[in-house]
Chains A and B, each alone.
Chain A
Amino acid sequence: MTRYVLVGSGIAGFSAAETLRTLDPQADILMVSDDPYGFYSRPGLAYYLTGEIPEKQLQLFSKKGKLNLEVKQIIARVTNLDPIAHSLKTDRSGTLTYDRLLLATGASAVNLNIPGENLRGTVKLDNLEDIRLILSLVRHTRSAVVVGGGVVAVELVEGLVALGVKVHYFLRGEWFWPNVLGEAEARMIERHLAHDEVILHHHTEIAEILGKRDKVIGVRTTKGDVLRCDMVAVGIGVKPNKEVAQAAGLKTERGILANEFLQTSDPDIFAAGDVAQIFDPRSGHSSIDNLWYPGRKQGRIAAMNMAGQKQVYKRTVAVNVLLLAGIMTTIIGAIGSGRDDGPAYTTRGSSETWQQLPNTIATETGTDVSHLRLMVGEQILLGALVMGDQTISRPLRDMINAQVDITPIKPQLLQSDAQLGQSVMDYWIKTKS
């Protein structure tokens, strides 16, 4: 009987367990993770923070639920991997052996690396433990500073606002999330945040978190200004948890390198999820998706290959749907390299493939409440960003995924007063039938 060990209990690890159990009802499957809460909806944490769902709603399946996988679980941190001996060491349960191993160790929040970061009141939004901490502190929190320019930072802002905290939002650049959003798009979100009485501080970074009796009492900015606050919430990005793989001699770059079968440089070790930097034979690039659905798909494909099949992971265009300051936003495919001069971290809810963009013209249209940007390539649409009205987002996803030839409507799309949404919709209906 083949012994499968899955490291990580996030979406990729869970999806792999589900697939392995389906493929082999008798298989010996062991899941090792240092998250004591097991598998839950990580992106759902933001809605727990805002109070839209209770904590127990984050769990997808009860133990007696419909998807009882009969997977043995160990709560421990993997400290060492020996690919030759096919063994793992953990901090709590000794040595484990495997026939096939999946590394789905995810990514962790990046620290600010500034003085005062360990003071009580400095928080992040990475796992359930973090939300519990925020909720325990919030009764004594009147004002907070949030830093970071992506999805997680804005989720922290919205969560704290919903909890009645006065929020100062520090943005390093000219506008919110500059490496993904254009100015008009970002300003829409900033207007909504300001409407919720969030105080935006552009071109502002923290130099030091100030404390008294081990508690946060304020921040000092790089310009030397001091701002009083009781909490500092950090959402500047994530870094893949690749240390164990790296120490074991597996090939790594930004993440653990995996081929199109999600196999690492060791044939019995596979990688999936936020830690996996996966080769795409079509583009010739290896990239990381910090996205939920690709993580699920990668877990499934890795499991099939672990079970002896030969399944290629076909990267579809990266899609994410976000609720940014109440504005539904769908990002599809490549939308640009953006402009952000600071250190580049990936953020949760983003994909490196969004940045890969050769020979493209951007064209956009919008109102106060909706915005549409198309990235028009030689013959196909390479990416799109849809804010507000989502009618066009499914047709766009289908067209970008299928690489539909848009030559007949390209001149129309590039006109200065183009009716982008209508042109795309009409063309989609025509090409579909």
Chain B
Amino acid sequence: MNFPLSHETHHVQTLATGHVVPEPERCIQCGICSFNCPIGIDVRLHAWLGKPVADSYCLTCGECVERCPRGVLHFEKTGLFLEGKE
């Protein structure tokens, strides 16, 4: 029998294992990422501060990753028990 995950559960699981990480050295703060975020997260501010987008509202939709003209953003695995980053 199939027990599909609810959207919310699936989302929480996704966030627990991966998030959007900026590479500040490539960023020119154009703001295309923030402008295209469907829920209005200021992704650019994360890039400025060099912090991953660990916002619990992040849909991990990948819109910011896809739209960034300088390849600043990428998904990275995260997790409490993950040793080494890649």
Task: List chain A positions with a Cβ less than 8 A from chain B.
Answer: 41, 43-44, 47, 52-54, 57-58, 60, 66, 292-293, 319, 321-323, 328, 330, 390, 393-394, 397
Q: How far is the CA of A293 from the CA of B47 in the complex (A)?
A: 12
Quick one: given A47-B69, A394-B23, are A60 and B44 in contact (CB under 8 Å)?
yes
Cβ contact within 8 Å between B34 and A393: no
Which of B24, B28, B71 has the most C-beta atoms of chain A within 10 angstroms of its own C-beta? B28
Contacts of B29 in A (CB 8 A): 41, 43-44, 60, 292
**Does B26 touch A at the CB level, under 8 Å?**
yes
Contacts of A321 in B (CB 8 A): 26, 70-72
Q: How far is the CA of A43 from the CA of B29 in the complex (A)?
A: 8
* Chain B nearest Cβ from A28, distance in angstroms: 25
Contacts of B48 in A (CB 8 A): 60
A and B contact pairs by CB, cutoff 8 A, 25 listed:
A41-B30, A43-B28, A44-B31, A44-B32, A47-B32, A47-B69, A52-B69, A53-B30, A57-B34, A57-B35, A58-B30, A58-B31, A60-B31, A60-B45, A66-B45, A292-B27, A292-B29, A293-B27, A319-B25, A321-B71, A322-B70, A323-B69, A328-B71, A393-B71, A394-B23
Cβ contact within 8 Å between B70 and A323: yes
Cβ contact within 8 Å between A43 and B26: no
Cβ contact within 8 Å between A44 and B28: yes
* Chain B nearest Cβ from A200, distance in angstroms: 23
Contacts of A58 in B (CB 8 A): 30-31
Contacts of A322 in B (CB 8 A): 70
Contacts of B35 in A (CB 8 A): 52-54, 57
* Chain A nearest Cβ from B64, distance in angstroms: 13
Contacts of B71 in A (CB 8 A): 321, 328, 330, 390, 393
Contacts of B27 in A (CB 8 A): 292-293
Total residues of chain B contacting the partner, CB 8 A: 19
Name 9 extra pairs, CB < 8 A, besides A44-B32, A47-B30, A66-B45.
A41-B28, A41-B30, A44-B28, A44-B31, A53-B30, A53-B31, A53-B35, A292-B28, A321-B26
Contacts of B34 in A (CB 8 A): 57
Which of B26, B29, B48, B72 has the most C-beta atoms of chain A within 10 angstroms of its own C-beta? B29
Q: How far is the CA of A420 from the CA of B9 in the complex (A)?
A: 43
A to B contact number (C-beta, < 8 Å): 62
Quick one: given A47-B69, A321-B70, are A53 and B32 in contact (CB under 8 Å)?
yes
* Chain B nearest Cβ from A388, distance in angstroms: 11
Contacts of B26 in A (CB 8 A): 293, 319, 321, 330
Q: How far is the CA of A60 from the CA of B35 in the complex (A)?
A: 12
* Chain A nearest Cβ from B55, distance in angstroms: 14
Cβ contact within 8 Å between A293 and B24: yes
Interface members, chain B 20-64 (any A CB < 8 Å)? 23-32, 34-35, 44-45, 48
Q: How far is the CA of A330 from the CA of B69 in the complex (A)?
A: 11
* Chain B nearest Cβ from A398, distance in angstroms: 11
Closest to B48 in A: A60
Contacts of B69 in A (CB 8 A): 47, 52, 323, 328
* Chain B nearest Cβ from A326, distance in angstroms: 9
Contacts of A43 in B (CB 8 A): 28-30
Q: How far is the CA of A143 from the CA of B71 in the complex (A)?
A: 32
